[in-house]
Amino acid sequence: MKKNLLSLILIISTVFLCSSCKKDSAAAGNTASAANLAAGKCDIRFDYSGATSGSFASTLAISTAASSGVLYNINGSAISGLIPQITMIITPANTAVGTYAQSAAGADLPNNMVFSFTSGSNGWASGGANAAGFKIVVTAVTSNTIEGTFSGEIGNDTDLTKVTIANGSFAAKF
């Protein structure tokens, strides 16, 4: 009888714990949205391949979105296994809805925008290592939010490796 009761308690406890857990980072591929974000938070998601591969989904608890009045700094962080990952998007605070694409391989993004991704001790950025085709599409901007998508190659000028970003989306509330 005690054995059955103990088994029943373990099963109920497991069901309760699993159903009450809240995951605060979503899988890459889903579109990020500023509507449900707290002020000072961001949501960044994408798939990546090349020098490293996987999916990135920022963890809301350790993400930040800050505005200096001149610049937006959107910083999403996550842990992949035991490897820390950081994605940063910097853009002027007066950025409007539109497409911001590299003019040529290795070129910086227009409007002084910067995109970077670091996984462990390796990092890649828009315009690095003659990476080509990176673009950020800003789809919505309000007085305290910005949302959009991004894709293309990012590169590392030191080891000349490249990473291709696909299905990228970002949202931030300042």
Q: pLDDT for 82-110, tens place per residue?
A: 999 999 999 999 999 999 999 999 999 99
Name the average pLDDT for the chain: 86
Residue 116 lies in a domain: yes
Residue 104 lies in a domain: yes
The residue range of the domain holding 153 is 25-173
Assess contact for 66 and 73: CB atoms under 8 A: yes
Instruction: Please determine, for residue 4, whether its predicted confidence score (pLDDT) is greater than 70.
Output: no
33, burial (CB in 10 Å: exposed 0-12, middle 13-18, buried 19+) = middle
Residue 57 lies in a domain: yes
Q: Apex CA 119: angle with CA 42 and CA 103, to 5°?
A: 75
Residue 11 lies in a domain: no
Interval 107-165: pLDDT, tens: 999 999 999 999 999 999 999 999 999 999 999 999 999 999 999 999 999 999 999 99
Residue 19 lies in a domain: no
DSSP state letter for 172: E
Residue 10 lies in a domain: no
Given this model, what pLDDT does residue 19 score? 32
Residue 3 lies in a domain: no
- 115 phi, psi to nearest 5 deg: -125, 130
Q: How far is CA 166 from the centre of its chain?
A: 12
Given this model, what pLDDT does residue 30 score? 66
Given this model, what pLDDT does residue 173 score? 97
How many domains would you assign to the chain? 1
Residue 12 lies in a domain: no
Query: Computed over its alpha carbons, how large is the radius of gyration of the chain?
Result: 19
